Amino acid sequence: MDNLINKANEDLNKYKQTHPNLTNLWREYIDIKIKNLEKTLLQCHKTAILMETIDDISNENIVALHFLALLNNENE
């Protein structure tokens, strides 16, 4: 994954003088995606720690938690 990020940065660097708006847009977009991925991986790690001490939950509970999270995000 780091290689892909480095390649994207190299590609963008080639065009930063001639296409500053597009390259800046892509840099910002990639930064947001990387931050979101890091946040997701941290959440996964926290969940793995919880799995050491709690039982599995049903698919129905997973769906319910997903919808609660969506509702919570709408209210922020």
pTM given for the model: 0.73
Provide mean pLDDT across the span 58-62: 96
User: Looking at the predicted structure, is the pLDDT value of residue 57 above 90?
Assistant: yes
User: Looking at the predicted structure, is the pLDDT value of residue 59 above 90?
Assistant: yes
User: Looking at the predicted structure, is the pLDDT value of residue 56 above 80?
Assistant: yes
> What does pLDDT average to over the chain?
94
Coil vs helix vs strand at 53: coil
User: Looking at the predicted structure, is the pLDDT value of residue 45 above 90?
Assistant: yes
The dihedral formed by the CA atoms of 5, 69, 66 and 30, expressed in degrees to the nearest 10: -10
Residue 6 tokens, joined:
């480095």
